[in-house]
Amino acid sequence: MVRNLLSKLQFLRLLRTAPSSLSPGFYNRISHIKTLLSTQDETSDAVTSALEELRFWYHLPLIQVIPKGVWPNEPNCYVSIQTHLKSTFADAINLLKATGRDLSVSDKKYLHLLLTHVCGWSATYPDHMNDSWVKFFHIRYPQLEGLMLILDSMTYQEELIDFPDDHDFREPRFFLLATSDQYFIWDASDWGQDGLFRAGDTLEDVYDGLKDWRWAESSEDMWPMVEDGGEYLDPGFYFITYKRKRNGNFGIVGSTEEYPGKMRK
């Protein structure tokens, strides 16, 4: 009886870690949730059940359903897929405290809201603080003393193999940086401005600005930009996008570099 029970437990673990080829994949499950959210509230039984089932089969990455009204100018953005696999809310808090800030209840509220943005950003890993894309900001803006990365939407190379097999890696988008008294936003997208925005003194300022699209050229109240104080660096060489290759390995869009994928049996 004990042997049979252990066998069943091992079988259940295998099911959880290896979705059946007959089971809808990660992308299809995300699409299903988005379809449900186009007509139903995020608290409906159908959405809740679909999200729980997705999280059962795919523990990573972190998936959030974005409550309606949080990002009113982006009505079709229903789901946020986190680009980092280990970042937590507490990690983001610790990075903010490292700038010398004392965080209020209001700060934490707006940080929670910011972390629902569809760009999927989350707290920058401490062991990535010396990456070339982080040094990019210090070289271009040396006049901003104590400038720190808080949230980023990069995908980290060492985590590529831990994403679902049919997950499409998006290009990096928004980055949140901070000094002891100001917040800054970088838009790394192809249509973004090649410059660092001054996003305000509080996280509420940052949230309101993102919500109102103050990063967009079409904005009547566009965020002011920081003048380059150091060497100009082309962001195209730093904010890279990964892709899956047909041979199962990973590559970088626009590059011939290749990284090993999952071991195939």
Domain boundaries, the chain: 60-259
Beta carbons within 8 Å of 170's beta carbon, 6+ residues apart:
83, 120, 153, 241
User: 10-19, 129-138, 251-260: which range is least confident on average?
Assistant: 10-19
Residue 263 is predicted with a pLDDT of: 57
In this structure, is the dihedral angle defined by the CA atoms of residues 110, 115, 116 and 121, taken in order, positive or negative?
positive
Q: Which residue has the tokens 């660096």?
A: 233
Q: Is 8 exposed, middle or buried (0-12, 13-18, 19+ CB in 10 A)?
A: exposed
Residue 223 binned pLDDT confidence (cut-offs 50, 70, 90): very high
Beta carbons within 8 Å of 20's beta carbon, 6+ residues apart:
none
Q: Model confidence over 57-91: pLDDT tens digits?
A: 999 999 999 988 999 998 777 899 999 999 999 99
pTM (two decimals): 0.88
Separation CA 83–CA 86 (nearest Å):
9
Task: Kindly state the average pLDDT of the residues 30-35.
Answer: 93
> Residue type at 125?
Y
- CA atoms within 13 A of residue 210's CA, in its CB half-sphere: 25
- pLDDT over threshold 90, residue 105: yes
User: What are the DSSP E strand ranges found in 92-171?
Assistant: 122-123, 148-152
Is residue 185 within 8 Å of residue 222, measured between CB atoms? no
Q: Which residues of 213-228 are buried (b: 16+ CB within 10 A; e: fewer)?
A: ebbeeeeeeebeebeb
Task: Kindly state the average pLDDT of the residues 215-222.
Answer: 94
Long-range contacts of 86-89, Cβ-Cβ distance < 8 Å, separation of 24 or more: 86/125, 87/122, 87/123, 87/124, 87/125, 88/123, 89/115
Cis-peptide into 61, omega within 30 deg: yes
Residue 23 binned pLDDT confidence (cut-offs 50, 70, 90): low
